[in-house]
Amino acid sequence: MPFKVDELPEAPYSFQLVVNKTGSWRNFRPVIDYNRCIRCMICWKFCPDLSIQIVPDETHKLKIKPVIDYEHCKGCGICANECPVKCIEMVREE
């Protein structure tokens, strides 16, 4: 990038999966307290940036937990705002 004339497809179209560490946009980062998290996954449900992953978790009876993808999380705070048990804290980035 940028590609040379002969390296480009003849017609203009994109083809590579996006690589963009939008985590650098953050001012605040969400931190989940897993002791209080009830695994409702509402945070995952409402994340516009697909920055919450569902990860297997044997320590909980529902077997899954939400994990923040800090490489991409933009720190919008929706997860913290919607969490029914308020177990997500928005912590200021250094």
Binding site for other proteins (CB under 8 A): 1-5, 8-22, 25-26, 40-42, 44-51, 54, 56, 64, 69, 71-72, 74-78, 80-82, 90
H or E stretch including 42? helix 42-46
Taken as a whole, the chain contains a residue count of: 94
Which single residue is written with the structure tokens 């307290």? 33
Q: Which is nearer to other proteins, 25 or 34 (CB)?
A: 25
Q: Which is nearer to other proteins, 32 or 44 (CB)?
A: 44
Nearest Cα neighbor of 37 from 67, 78, 58, 70 is 67
Question: From the CB of 62, what's the least distance to other proteins, in Å?
Answer: 10
